[in-house]
Amino acid sequence: MNLPLHGSNPHYLYDALNIPMPERWSDFSVNLNPLGQPDSLSALLSKGAIDFRDYPDPIHTSLRRRISISEGIDPGGIIVGNGAAEVIHMIACLLRGKKVAVVHPAFSEYELTCRAFSCSIEHVIPSLIPEFEDFAGAIKASDAIFICNPNNPAGTVMDPVLLEEIIGYAEENDCLVIVDEAFHDFLPQGDSCKKLLGVHFNLIILRSMTKMFSMAGIRLGFALMAEELKSKLEKYQTHWSVNSFALCAGEICLEQQDFVMKTRGYVARERARMFCFLKKNDFSFSRSQTNFYLMKDNRTEQQIDLIIFLLKNGIVPRHTYNFRGLEGRWLRMAVKDEESNNLLMEVLEKWREN
């Protein structure tokens, strides 16, 4: 099957499976905030208050200063990008021709982008309960390792003691560690490994602002690291890659702590409600702590029939055929608003009646 590599744009999935797209559908393949955008961001979109005649600030001074205050990190160790994807591209430039380890299952862009720069890829598939030994060999043999934490697609979080052990061992072996925290905003306590930046200087932390604030079309992300590492990485950034609107939107979003806290509570309640339903109806699910989760029907090995059924009933799942270690045995589903989650439950009940 030639299925799309990412969520969103559901017409591509319908086309690939030759299924007519219904008039009404709900996209569970996109992991955005179910509450939408904060009011202040919506106001910025509607006011047209930005003068687009001027070039954007190429070094993002004001936004980096705001991130510095918010994260407690020196602005000299912050890179702002056109989405976290641009920072991943910059990292791949830095690693050109080197050996890169990727911990799976994981966001596919790590491998795709590094391969574009002639990197060789070492695949790490940890045991169900990860242990240090799962990573040690790959770290010793690699120049860098990508770890998605919270994990995408599972939504699970690595034990912080294990993660620090991995970072420390990687530093001893001259291995760069890239920890993708794109979904850390959704964690109950907003947990992050940023406290390790002052201890280990081989660490890059990726962040996305598009998930929590539902602005995937604006493209904005940033990375935290030691200043010396930033000076090496920023050489690969295109001038004016982040537009004026994104820079302004980023500053507004950093002020939305009440919105973030409200979102965490809402997502936690809806996630718990979905998990209760799935358990009752004999579906397995990952112990996610974020706004998405893996699920599968325990009564079948491959999930393609369920995918087709969901699509025909207006539910768009994210397949996992291109996630190494999953190979289609699970579906990734977003935690959406109450009405959408109710619709998903209704469709899954119909599936059980088949």
**Is 1's pLDDT higher than 70?**
no
* 154 and 300 share one domain: no
* 50 pLDDT higher than 80: no
**166 or 327: which leads in pLDDT:** 166
**CATH number of the domain enclosing 220:** 3.40.640.10
Print burial letters for 339-352: b (CB count within 10 Å at least 16), e (below 16). Answer: ebbebbeebbeebe
Assign residue 324 the CATH number of its domain.
3.90.1150.10
pLDDT surpassing 80 at residue 48: no
Flag whether 37 is in a domain. no
Which of 121-130, 189-198, 312-321 has the lowest average pLDDT?
Answer: 189-198
Which of 255, 275, 294 lies at the terminal end of a domain, its last residue? 255
Are residues 329 and 199 both part of a single domain?
A: no
Q: Pick from 255, 287, 312: which residue ends a domain?
A: 255
Residue 162 sits in the same domain as residue 247: yes
26 forms beta bridges with 315
Residue 51 has pLDDT above 80, yes or no: no
Please give the pLDDT value at position 27: 95
Residue 62's pLDDT is: 96
Tell me: pLDDT of 343 over 90: yes
317 belongs to a structural domain: yes
The per-residue pLDDT for 49 is: 63
pLDDT tens sequence across 84-132: 999 999 999 999 999 999 999 999 899 999 999 999 999 999 988 899 9
Tell me the per-residue pLDDT of 145-183, one tens digit each, with 9 for 90 and over.
999 999 999 999 999 999 999 999 999 999 999 999 999
Dihedral class, residue 9 (left if φ above 0, else alpha if ψ from -120 to 50, else beta): left
Domain span holding position 342: 11-29+258-353
CA 235 to chain CA mean position, Å: 25
pLDDT digits (tens, 9 = 90+) for 257-299: 999 999 999 999 999 999 999 999 999 999 999 999 999 999 9
For residue 144, give both structure tokens.
């860098």
SS (H, E, C) 282-324: CEEECCCCCCEEEEEECCCCCCHHHHHHHHHCCEECEECCCCC
Q: Are residues 53 and 122 in the same domain?
A: yes
Give pTM, 2 decimals. 0.94
For residues 231 and 104, state if they share a domain.
yes
Name the band, by pLDDT with cuts 50, 70 and 90, for residue 52: confident
Query: What is the Cα–Cα distance from 123 to 191, expressed in whole angstroms?
Result: 26
The answer to whether residue 313 sits within a structural domain is yes
% residues pLDDT > 90 (the chain): 87
Residue 47 has pLDDT above 80, yes or no: no
Whether residue 36 lies inside any domain: the answer is no
**Domain shared by 241 and 271, yes or no:** no
Q: Is the pLDDT of residue 336 over 90?
A: yes
What is the rounded CA–CA span in Å between residue 333 and residue 342?
A: 13
Give me the DSSP letters along 129-163. Answer: S--THHHHHHHHH-SEEEEESS-TTT-----HHHH
Secondary structure (H, E, C), 11-72? HHHHHHCCCCCCCCCEECCCCCCCCCCCHHHHHHHHHCCCCCCCCCCCCCHHHHHHHHHHHC
pLDDT in tens, 203-244: 999 999 999 999 988 999 999 999 999 999 999 999 999 999
Report yes or no on 195 lying in a domain.
Answer: yes
Q: Taking Cα atoms as reference points, which of 326, 332, 266 lies closest to residue 301?
A: 326
At which of 255, 275, 304 does a domain end? 255
- The number of helices, as runs of H, and strands, as runs of E, in the chain is 12, 13
18 and 66: one domain?
no
Please state the separation of Cα 309 from the chain's center in Å: 27
**Higher pLDDT residue, 1 or 118?**
118
- How many separate domains does the chain show? 2
